[in-house]
Amino acid sequence: MKKISLIIIASTLVLLSACASKSYVKFVDNSIKNKIEIKDVKKRVLENGFTQIQVDGINKTDKYTLFKYRVVWEDKDGFEVKSISSKWSDSSAYKNANFRINVISPSKQAVNYQLYINKD
């Protein structure tokens, strides 16, 4: 009986975790992954209820590097929340230097995000 209960509990946890939306950073083109590295990602809810993300990275090359990023926001149910940050934005990092990306959600309902990084 204990074995069956454990199997049911484990199955339920797997199903719940599969349904939950997750926030993450993804490199669209792996060639940019060789040039920049993401060191830290922070997320917080501001006093006004909007979500802020801060991504810290480093340019690992001896060259000024251009790249693009976009953020797709989702509500608690995993539905996309339209935002201007869903469009590709240009960014850059000086040689062997740190860089930072800050983005604030378009609404209080936007609680999860996917940050995509691509080559310029």
pLDDT, tens digit (0-9, with 9 covering 90-100), for 55-81: 999 999 999 999 999 999 999 999 999
pLDDT in the model for residue 3: 52
- Listed by start position, the domains of the chain span 23-119
Burial class (CB in 10 A: 0-12, 13-18, 19+), 55: buried
Q: pTM for this one?
A: 0.78
Render pLDDT for 27-42 as a digit per residue (tens, 0 to 9): 999 999 999 999 999 9
Q: Which CATH number does the domain 23-119 belong to among 3.50.50.60, 2.60.40.3230, 2.60.40.1180, 3.30.565.10? A: 2.60.40.3230
Asked if the model's pLDDT at residue 15 lies above 60, the reply is no
Quickly tell me which residue has 């240009």 as its tokens: 90
